[in-house]
Structure 1
Amino acid sequence: MDNIHINKSKTIAFTGHRHINGDNIAPLREELTHTIHQQYLNGYTTYIVGGAVGFDLLAAEIVLELQQEFTDIQLLCAVPYAGHHIYFRNESMQRYIHIADKATANIILSTHYYDDCSLRRNDYMIEHCSLLIAYYGQSSRSGTGYTVRRAEANNIPIINLYKQSKP
């Protein structure tokens, strides 16, 4: 794992569903871009994504786009284990590889897969952020649900963009 200092008070983590309805992608991209931009203006400069398909990749791409305008933005990819992306479909794998290449740091939490490694990655993100941006439709048995509950238990504010988009 990379040894990097993270200022929790200036760090946002992202969590969200892996599947986003095609009709929701454009409005979600617009709302997420606006939200990240606003939070940057509020002093948040470090953003952690978990490297999963769906919302994570979308959030990472937007952070990288905003990094062109705000050069002090840092993107950290916290992934559960080395090579986790090899099971992605080709398009998502290529997107992930591009993001990982452009990220400020890639934090690989384990050299191998093990039970609950994704939950441990989610714990890492919650331990290192002071705000969570989610795309969460109340599915309690998901990793996103777990992460939202952990944020709530740790009194971390949550901006949930799901309720602002079409279900």
Structure 2
Amino acid sequence: MRRENSCCFTGHRPEKLPWREDERDPRCLDLKDRLAAAVEGAYGKGMRHFLCGMARGADFYFCEAVLDLRERYPDVTIEAVLPCETQAARWTERDRDRYFALVAACDLETMVQRKYDRNCMLRRDRYLVDHASHLIAVYDGLLGGTMYTISYAMKQGLSLKILNT
């Protein structure tokens, strides 16, 4: 995949989203619509390969939006970028089932490293940015991995599309 035709994503986990786990909340449904439009917009700008870090919350929404896009445009590919082998080990069964179904639906799977350590999520985030030219983010100003990834993407010269929650 060529970096100039690749788009990555960063966003908040449910704990930092106003609706938490309630994806039927109108604010969540609105965000999913805006995210789908941002993915479609990235496609319109020539993005064909999409990279997702596969975290709970906004990453799942992004992955699902790209999979929907791929249904309409078969030249779309999506890469699941996993920080480590045990990313989903402590999640609920429902979240693990969704995670494994989404990873299985992706065209490619990249594991940044096998074993968990305190920096594997940051390494995953850098991988995402280092393999893309455009970043879509769900971000509301909170400190954390999403802010780090946006800052890193800005330093690397990626174009940005930031969606507020």
The two structures share one fold, judged by TM-score above 0.5: yes
The answer to whether 1:26 aligns with 2:29 is: yes
- Where 2:73 maps in the other structure, the secondary structure is coil
**Residue identity (%):** 25
Structure 2, unpaired ranges of 5+: 20-24
Superposed displacement of residue 48, structure 1 = 0.5
Runs of 4+ with deviation above 6 angstroms: none
Give 1:13's aligned residue: 8
Give 2:136's aligned residue: 133
- How much is the aligned-residue C-alpha RMSD, in angstroms? 1.1
- The total of aligned residue pairs comes to 157
Superposed displacement of residue 131, structure 1 = 0.6
Give 1:161's aligned residue: 163
Superposed displacement of residue 41, structure 1 = 1.8
Partner Cα distance (2:137, 2:73) in 1: 22
Output aligned runs, 1:47-126, within 5 Å. 47-126=50-129
Give 1:35's aligned residue: 38
User: Residues 42-88 of structure 1: CA distance to partner in whole angstroms, max 9, x if unpaired?
Assistant: 21011100010001011001111111111111010101101311222
User: Residues 97-120 of structure 1: CA distance to partner in whole angstroms, max 9, x if unpaired?
Assistant: 111111001101111101211000
Q: Given the two structures, how large is their TM-score scaled by the length of structure 2?
A: 0.91
Structure 1, unpaired ranges of 5+: 1-5
Partner Cα distance (2:44, 2:160) in 1: 17
